[in-house]
A and B are shown apart, each in its own frame.
Chain A
């Protein structure tokens, strides 16, 4: 099935724009492929990645991460923006080093296995151009999961958010996502749906 658009829209005018620290928002007048002119607002977002880290014992590493935009602590895989000039695999390693570094159990340990791409996610195609690379990383048998964090956790984002490390079995993660109680992070659920098939 085709993904590429054979008749993309045409930009007619930028009506207004606002630049935030990490991303900008603009209201733009567009001519859609169907020929209609309309004004839309959308976010210009840098490329991102989300990594599904699999421990050698089959468990998965997640974060219980505080998200100010929704005021909740969500169960998420590690994610972040790509730094300038960085490959997705390098960014994944950087994220894992941060989570399993000197204060964790990963200090001085061998690098993680290669990045196994799971696909390109459009987290919100209605109003954001963000493209998020999803991938699986299999951690080595030498790397032992840290104890689940019980305190505030690690500082994760430039928005001041923190995350607690949580290692779960696949069945426990499926159970949490199927419970109907857990707020569902669409990015994490998509990555898990794809990674689960390769477990």
Chain B
């Protein structure tokens, strides 16, 4: 078959752009209905006083946003979300880094360790919350038993009904589930760090700790930044864990933004202000993503 026949065959076909559109039509349809239209409608809703119980749903412009931004409760839950996100990201990155360093070593049983670490990752968020609720039960929880056996507490503690222990345990429960994936990502990054640099430094007499600090860490910076971006964005969206573990309590001390959106919208049935709050959360996420991305970009160019 000659080239000219191939060209003829090609000419008989529809253009690549049209073909791509036809091929991706089912996927694009799903994404349009479940993502694109809802986003547009959410923006629209956020400009109306839209309460389910009221018949009148007047246009109010940016009033919903104004109300939220002048409401102390919003700033409280934003602060709670930020405290949660910063703590969680700090714990996840630190532990994952050391765990990845361990898994990067060559030793019998490493494969097993890696495989077993997938278990927390595979557990659904709701079940993870249920698990920690059980571990932290005020009278029957194994944490109380362990801590009192170790002499750390004199009497059993209701961990989730007081601050700051409620926040600390929420952070631990969240990190526990999310460390495995972060570890795998960092491990993949570690495997690109060249062994020759390490060997050279070893000859120079650098200790393992010095090598980690001066060779591994700088070379791992792009990977760590990517993990930082993803973990921050995901931590700001937290909802399932809070719903089951603390319901925002005690008081409003673990009421993160996700929880506030849920309460405003689906308990108080104020869809207008709920949408505005969701838009604000979306914008914060977007700004963070752009900010981190430019940071990463600059780091790579240096």
Are A and B subunits of one complex? no
- B residues neighboring A (CB under 8 Å): none
